[in-house]
Chain A
Amino acid sequence: MAEYERVEHDVLVIGAGGAGLRAAIAAAAGGARVGLVCKSLLGKAHTVMAEGGVAAAMGHVDDRDNWRVHFADTMRGGQYLNNWRMAQLHAQEAPDRVRELEAWGAVFDRTTDGRILQRNFGGHRYPRLAHVGDRTGLEMIRTLQDHAIHLGIDVHMEVTVVQLLKDRDRVAGAMAYDRERGRFKLFSCGAVVLATGGIGRAFDITSNSWEYTGDGHSLAYDAGAELVDMEFVQFHPTGMVWPPSVKGILVTEGVRGEGGVLRNKDGKRFMFDDIPDNYKGQTADNEEEGWRYTQGDKSARRPPELLTRDHVARCIQREVREGRGSPHGGVYLDIAWIKERLPKGAEHIRKKLPSMYHQFKQLANIDITAVPMEVGPTTHYIMGGIRVDGDTQMSNVPGLFAAGECAAGLHGANRLGGNSLSDLLVFGKRAGEHAVAFAKSQAAARLAPVDADASVAAALEPFERGGSPEAPYAIQHELQGLMQKLVGIVREEGEMRQALSGVAKLRERAMHVGVHGNREYNPGWHTALDLHHLMTVSEAITLAALERKESRGGHFRDDYPDKDPAYARFNIVLRKGLDGAMELERRTIPPMPDDLKAIIEEQKS
C-alpha cells in the first residue's frame, strides 16, 4: 500500500490563477468546503504577468459600447468557431465581474469623472480594457487572493496534481504530491474545477512560465474529457529575441499602440506590404495616417502594425526567413522614432511604458527611448482546451469542471487581447457555482485504493529507474525544439507528420527517464512528471492542425493558405479512445439563435 495523506473537500479547485481563485471564491460563497491547489506559492500564477487589461463593455470612455458590440467583436476575432453561448455570457457578465473586483479593493486607473478607465486594444471596437498601467494581472490576482484568504478556503501551495481519480464514471478526487517534502496527498471531493492555465512550455520560444506544461488539458484527457480547438495556438508577434536568456519574454502590444513601428534590416516598414483584403478598409495606407491614429485622431485608420496578432507574427516570420531580419533573428520594433514627432518623446515613452522601459534596460541593456528593440514571435496562449458546457463549465465527464485558459470555447480560432482576464472572472465564477451544486447532489465519493496506489507508483517510477541516460531536461528541450520548428507559426503537412512521429519517439524515451536525489523539492523529478502532459498536448495540437486543411485565426498552413468555408462549420474534438490512442472527430457547431445572429449582422456595418 502506498503512503499518502487523505484530504477531503466538497469542491477541489486545481489552479490558483484568476480562474481558480474566482472559482474557489464562488464555491466558498455557495457554502462548500473548498480546497485550492497550486504548483507555486499563492499569488504567483501566470495571471500575475498579464499586462494590458481586462475587457468589459462598461462604456466608461465611449458610451456606444455595450455587451452586443463586445459579443460581435469576440466572435469576429474567433472567426466564428467560438462557442457562441460562452461569447454571449462573457460579454454580458464581464462588467459586473470587474465592478465586483473594485468592491473587493482593486484600484484600477481612473477616468476624469472618477470611474474605471478603459483603453483601446486590438480587435475591440471601443476602448474596453480596464487596467492598471501595464500590471493589470497583478492587481487582479492580488485582489482575488486577498479576498479569498478570509473565506475559509484550504490552500495547498506547491502541491502538484498528477492524476484525477474517479468514482465509477464521475471525477471525485485527485492524487497529488507536495513539492517541499515529496509526499503524496489523496484528495476526495464532490467535484473538481480545473483552472491550470496553458501549454506554452511545449514550444521553445514562449512568454509562459515553467508551470505551463498543459497539466489540466492532459489530466482531463486521461480522465475521459474531450479537448477541442487544440490547433489554435496564439503566437504573439513581439517577444524579446536577445539576449538568449530572455528570448520569448513578452513585449506588450501597447508599444505599437503608442506609435511603435516594425522595420526590417533595410529600415523598411514591411507591414504596409501585406494588408489582408478584409482589413484594407480599416487600415491606414500611409505612415502619416497611422501615426495620427496612435495619437487618438478618431478620423484616422489604424496602422498595419496593429493588424491581428496572427497576421503580424507571420509577416515578421516572413521577413526573417527571407533574410531581411535583424542580427539575432527578429525584426526591429522602434518606439524611439516618436521623438521626431513629440517634443518630450523620451519622457513620454518612459511614462507610458514603464515596465517595458525597465525590462529592456535591465535585461538587455537597451534604452528603448534611444534605439529600436529586436523582437520576434513568441508562443503566448492556447485557445483550445477542455470542452465545456457554456453555462455550467462542466466537461463531458460528470463532476469535472474547467475554467480559464485550460478550458476552450470562448475564443474560437483567435483570442482578442484582454478577453482572457475577463474569461477567468466570468467562467471561474460560473464553474465554482455549478461545481457546488453538483457536489451537493452527490453521495460521498468512494475512491478505489488500487487506483490511488497505482497513481503513486507511476509517479515514483523515475526514482525506481534511478540514474538513466535519459535526462528529463534533455527530452523536454528536444520536444520544445521539435514543436517550435514543425508545428509553429507556419505549418505544413509533411512537417507535421514528422512532428507526430517525433513526439511518439520522445514519448517512448520519456518512459525511460530516471532521476537522482531525494523526493524533497526535486525539480528533476517534477520535470520528468511534466513530460507526459507535454507529450499529450503536443500530440493533440499536431493532430488537430493536420486535420484542419485551411488557414484560420491562429492556425496557418502554407499548403492551405486560405480560409475554407467548409471548415467554418465544425470544431475538431479529441478524446482518448478505448485502446488508449487519440481519437479525432469533426463536431458540427450548433446553429446560433436568431437574436445572436441579428447582433452579428447589426454589428457588421
Chain B
Amino acid sequence: MTAHTFKVWRGERGTGAFQDYSTDITEGMVVLDAMHQIQAENANDLAIRWNCKAGKCGSCSAEVNGHPKLMCMTRMDELPAHEPVTVEPMRAFPHVRDLVTDVSWNYEQKKRIKKFKPRAPDAPDGTWRMMQADVDRVQEFRKCIECFLCQDVCHVLRDHHKHDEFVGPRHLVYTAALEMHPLDIEDRLGDLKDEHAIGYCNITKCCTTVCPEHIAITDNAIIPLKERVVDSFYDPVVKLVRLLRAKRT
C-alpha cells in the first residue's frame, strides 16, 4: 500500500481549481476507485458520474493526466508511479461540478438524425432475413457505449466550438450504423452534408484513438460516409475520376 497524490478539479460551472488529495493505493485499483476513496474519506460531496464500473455504460468519462479516459478502466499501475495524477472533467462540454459535465447537447444531436426506417418485411410473418456477414460492420458501430470521449477530443468541438453545426464523431458513427444497416431505407446524406456538417471533419483520427470500444470511427464510419456524400452530390472531381475510370474499363 502506498499513498498517491491526486490533483482533482473542484469547482462549479467553469470556475474551479485543482485540489490535492492523498489516498492509499492498493493492488489493482483504478482511477475511479481512488476518486471514490477520496469521496468517502475527505470529500463527501465530490461529484463523479459512474454506474457499471466495468467499462460498459460510458458514464465515468474524464481526463486523466490530460487524456480522455474511462476512469473505471484506467488502472493506477498504468500511470507514472511517482507523479501526481491529474483528474479533470471533459473539456468540450459545459462544466457542472467537479468531474461532472453537462452532456445533454449530445442527446439533442441524436434527435436531429432521422430514425431507423426498415424496408418492408421479407417474410409473410413480418420478419426479415439478414446474413451475419452483412451485419458485422453495423455491429461494430453498435458497440458504442456513448461515453462521448470522441466528442471530447475532436478539435472541431473542443477547440473550434462548432457545436451548433457539427454533430461530432459519435453521431457520425450513429449515422453510419443506420446508413449501413441492411434493412434501412432512409436517406440521410443531405442532412449529413448540410445539417450535420460532416465536411468539418478533416480526418485527424483523434476520435478513433480514444474510443474505449476500439471502434474504427474514422476509417470505418466517417470516411465511407464522406464518400457516400461526395458520390451522391456529384462532386465534380469525383465525377471526373469516375468518368475517366469508366472510360478506361
Q: Is A584 interfacial (CB-CB < 8 Å)?
A: no
Assembled-state Cα–Cα distance A41/B58 (Å): 10
Q: Tell me the bound Cα distance from A246 to B130 in angstroms.
A: 38
Q: Are B56 and A48 in contact (CB-based, < 8 A)? A: yes
The verdict on A502 contacting chain B, using a C-beta distance below 8 Å, is: no
The answer to whether the Cβ of A524 comes within 8 Å of any Cβ in the partner chain is: yes
B33, B45, B49, B129: the one within 8 Å of A113 (CB): B129
A522 to B12, CA, bound (A): 12
Q: Do B132 and A107 touch (CB < 8 A)?
A: no
Q: What CA separation (Å) do A541 and B242 show in the bound complex?
A: 70
Please indicate the chain A residues that have their CB under 8 angstroms from the CB of B55 in the complex: 358-359, 362
Give Cα A521 to B46, complex, Å: 8
Distance of A42 from chain B, by nearest CB (Å): 7
Q: Is A245 an interface residue (CB 8 A)?
A: yes
User: Bound state CA distance, A471 and B107, in angstroms?
Assistant: 35
| Cβ-based interface call for A280 (8 A) | no
Contact A521 B54 (CB under 8 A): no
The residues of A that contact B57 with a CB separation of less than 8 Å are: 40, 43-44, 48-49, 209
- Decide if B146 is an interface residue (CB 8 Å cutoff): yes
Partner of A44, one of B30, B33, B58, B115: B58
Return chain A residues, CB-CB under 8 Å to B40: 473
Q: Assuming the A-B contacts A157-B104, A209-B51, are A246 and B28 also in contact, with contact meaning beta carbons closer than 8 angstroms in the complex?
A: yes
CB distance from A47 to the nearest CB of B (A): 10
- Give Cα distance in the complex from A523 to B49, angstroms: 10
Q: Are B28 and A44 touching (Cβ within 8 A)? A: no
Interchain CB contact under 8 A, B45 and A516:
yes
Query: Residue on A with the closest CB to B26?
Result: A244
Distance between Cα atoms of A171 and B178 in the complex (Å):
41
Chief secondary structure at chain B's binding surface: loop
B36 vs chain A, min Cβ distance (A): 9
Task: Convert B48-62 into 0s and 1s, putting 1 for each residue whose CB lies closer than 8 angstroms to a CB of A.
Answer: 111111111111000
Q: Are A471 and B97 in contact (CB under 8 A)?
A: no
Q: Measured between alpha carbons, how far is A46 from B77 in the docked complex, in Å?
A: 28
B16-67 residues with Cβ-Cβ distance < 8 A to A are 26-30, 33, 39-40, 44-59
Q: Is A495's CB within 8 Å of the partner chain B? A: no
Is B105 engaged at the interface, CB distance under 8 Å to the other chain?
A: no
Asked if residues A149 and B44 are in contact (CB atoms below 8 Å), the reply is no
**What residues on A are CB-neighbors of B96 within 8 Å?**
180, 520-521
Known: A105-B116, A110-B132. A363 touches B28 (CB 8 A): yes
Identify the stretch in B135-143, B151-159, B195-203 within 8 Å (CB) of chain A at 4 or more residues. Answer: B135-143
- Contact A523-B47, Cβ < 8 Å, known A135-B143, A157-B104, A362-B75: yes
Asked if A245 and B44 make an inter-chain contact with CB atoms under 8 angstroms apart, the answer reads: no
Question: A245, B28: Cβ atoms under 8 Å?
Answer: yes
A150: Cβ under 8 A from any B Cβ: yes
Give the docked Cα–Cα distance between A289 and B76 (Å). 44
Q: Which residues of A contact B138 (CB under 8 A)?
A: 107
**Chain B residues within an 8 Å CB radius of A359:** 54-55
The answer for the CA separation of A180 and B96 in the assembled complex, in Å, is 7
Closest to B72 in A: A363
Q: Considering the chains assembled together, what is the distance between the CA atoms of A107 and B144 in angstroms? A: 13
Q: Mark A91-119, 1 if CB is under 8 A from B, else 0.
A: 00000000100111101011001110000
Q: Could you tell me if B59 and A44 are in contact, using CB atoms closer than 8 angstroms?
A: yes
Inter-chain contact B145/A40, CB cutoff 8 Å: no
Which partner residue on chain B sits nearest A99 by CB separation? B127
CA distance A242 to B29 in the complex (A): 10
Closest beta carbon of chain B to A313's beta carbon, Å:
20
Q: Does B215 contact A (CB under 8 A)?
A: no
Bitwise, B177-191 to A at CB < 8 A (1) or not (0) is: 010010110000000
Inter-subunit contact B59/A522 (CB<8 Å): no
State which of A72-80, A138-146, A402-410, A559-567 sits at the interface with chain B: A138-146
B233 at the interface (CB under 8 A from A): no
Q: Which residue from chain B places its CB closest to the CB of A141 in the assembled complex?
A: B57
Q: Are A245 and B110 in contact (CB under 8 A)?
A: no
B103 at the interface (CB under 8 A from A): yes
Partner of A105, one of B50, B100, B129, B181: B181
Which of B53, B115, B135, B184 sits near A147, CB closer than 8 Å? B115
Residues of B within 8 A of A245 (CB): 26, 28-30, 33
Is A249 located at the chain interface by the 8 A CB criterion?
yes
List residues of chain A with CB within 8 A of the CB of B54. Answer: 49, 246, 249-250, 359, 363
10 interchain residue pairs of minimum CB distance: A243-B28, A524-B44, A114-B129, A517-B45, A105-B116, A521-B47, A110-B132, A245-B33, A521-B97, A44-B57
**B residues at A contact (CB < 8 Å):** 12, 26-30, 33, 39-40, 44-59, 73, 75, 77, 96-98, 100, 102-104, 107, 110-111, 115-116, 118, 126-132, 135, 138-139, 142-143, 145-146, 178, 181, 183-184
Give 26 A-B contacts (CB < 8 Å), ordered by A residue.
A41-B103, A42-B107, A43-B57, A44-B51, A44-B52, A44-B57, A45-B51, A48-B57, A49-B57, A99-B126, A105-B116, A105-B118, A105-B181, A107-B181, A138-B145, A142-B142, A146-B115, A157-B107, A244-B27, A246-B28, A246-B53, A363-B30, A516-B44, A520-B12, A521-B97, A522-B44
Further contacts, 16 of them, CB under 8 A, given A49-B54, A110-B131:
A43-B57, A44-B59, A46-B51, A48-B51, A49-B52, A104-B116, A114-B128, A135-B143, A138-B145, A150-B111, A246-B53, A249-B53, A363-B54, A365-B75, A520-B12, A520-B96
